[in-house]
Amino acid sequence: MKRILLYFATVMLLSSCGYNSMVEKDEEVARAWSAVETQYQRRSDLIPNLVNTVKGYADFEQETLTAVVEARAKATSVQVNVDELNPQSIARFQEAQQELSGALSRLLVSVERYPDLKASTQFSQLQAQLEGTENRISVARDKYNSSVGDYNTYIRKFPRNMIAGIFSFEQKGYFESASGSDKAPSVEF
């Protein structure tokens, strides 16, 4: 009978100290991370179609296309396990994704010199899908950061921080803005 009472007391203590809420918040972070990965995967899936459409224009800069393909390969090779959403792994993932974003930006800027390509319906549709995906990525990252903020705050408050420590609930990493994004770009004509 004492064991049953001790077990019941332990269960009540853990639930009143927020263990179950920590699990729920941890799962919300995992769901939000999954949404981020889904949107990045969507972008990655669009890139081969974009590259193939651009390749149809024989005199298009090959090095620009190569940079996009290589950046995509690198970005898709950097995977983050949901159990390792620490600042270092998020930074590695974000760095690879930023390389891909930069390569795509260079590709889209260089398209400006090819009016026939810009006028292509297929290219226009792919470009619109890519822009929509970038917006979805931004929304998913915001949702992820919000979930992480809620989770990190919850596990750091007393007395939950003691329960979090006992059960290895660790702080999660945020997506952060790219270095230099706080400065406006200079535009010269």
What pLDDT digit, counting tens, does each position of 48-64 carry?
988 888 877 756 677 88
Question: Is 60 exceeded by the pLDDT of residue 185?
Answer: no
Q: How much of the chain, in percent, has pLDDT values that exceed 90? A: 52
Q: What is the mean pLDDT of residues 171-188?
A: 65
Average pLDDT over the chain reads 85
| pLDDT at residue 176, rounded to an integer | 86
Q: What is the mean pLDDT of residues 12-36?
A: 87
CA–CA separation, 171 and 87 (whole Å):
9
Q: Which helix (H) or strand (E) holds 174?
A: none
The Cβ-side half-sphere exposure at 87, using a 13 Å CA radius, reads: 5
| pLDDT at residue 146, rounded to an integer | 97
CA–CA separation, 15 and 22 (whole Å):
10
Q: What is the mean pLDDT of residues 96-115?
A: 87
| Extended strands (E) in the chain | none
Q: Identify the band that residue 182 occupies on the pLDDT scale cut at 50, 70 and 90.
A: very low
> Does residue 164 sit in helix, strand or coil?
helix
| pLDDT at residue 14, rounded to an integer | 56
| pLDDT at residue 121, rounded to an integer | 87
DSSP 82: G
CA distances from 107 to 76, 163, 172 (A): 19, 50, 34
150, burial (CB in 10 Å: exposed 0-12, middle 13-18, buried 19+): middle
| pLDDT at residue 120, rounded to an integer | 82
CA–CA separation, 27 and 35 (whole Å):
12
| pLDDT at residue 13, rounded to an integer | 61
| pLDDT at residue 184, rounded to an integer | 45
Q: What is the mean pLDDT of residues 172-179?
A: 83
